[in-house]
Amino acid sequence: MNIERFAIEGVVRIIPRAYADARGVFSETYSRRGFAEALGQADFVQDNVSRSARRGTVRGLHYQAPPMAQAKLVRVLKGAIFDVAVDARAGSPTYGRHVAVTLRADDGAQLFVPRGFLHGFCTLEDDTEVFYKVDAYYSPAHDGSIHWADPDLAIAWPIREADAVLSEKDAAAPRFSAIQGGF
């Protein structure tokens, strides 16, 4: 696997090796040993899939507060997304900054989002399916959301706010300042 690191420590883009022949393509998308050698140990405990019917569907910016914070390994099974990780770690020198990448099903790239980050994405195609592994179980009591289009975060989303397809929760989410200094 190839690893791309960013200015914000901990967030990485992973590009698995793909082997093509007349039958199609084979790719190993996750290996506990390979992941640990490249990025450190992660004990993923739950897999999740989201399907979005329309281009412009925004999911996020979501988080789970400590002690149930989650790291995520995100990849696209069908379609494409604009994927965002926002540093919400208390005391981090990159607090409030973000990494944004495009993930596409056809290239197999993945984004690792460490604990202490907000995560969200916007679908770039109709009928997009996203798969992600997490290292802590979902906890409704620790679930939270920050408004995806908060101007203080200065994320250059590929959609106008008026055109976004949102859940009620995400539409009503508070601004980043609501988490007052992070996790």
Taking residues 34-62, report their average pLDDT.
93
Residues 6+ apart with CB under 8 A from 135: 42, 43, 44, 45, 70, 71, 72, 115
Indicate whether 40 pLDDT > 90: no
Judged against a pLDDT cut of 90, whether residue 35 lies above it is answered with no
Side-chain half-sphere exposure of 69, counting CA atoms within 13 A: 17
Read off the pTM.
Answer: 0.95
- According to the model, what pLDDT value does residue 12 have? 95
pLDDT band at 37 (very low <50, low <70, confident <90, very high): confident
> What are 133-145's pLDDT values in tens digits?
999 999 999 999 9
Indicate whether 71 pLDDT > 90: yes
Which residues are part of the catalytic machinery? 62, 132
Q: How do the domains of the chain map onto residue ranges? A: 2-178
Average pLDDT, the chain: 95
Residue 56 region by backbone torsions, left for phi larger than 0, else alpha for psi between -120 and 50, else beta? left
From 3.50.50.60, 1.10.10.60, 2.60.120.10, 2.40.100.10, which CATH number describes the 2-178 domain?
2.60.120.10
Compute the distance between CA of residue 64 and CA of residue 44 in angstroms, rounded to an integer: 15
Q: Quick check: 61 pLDDT over 90?
A: yes
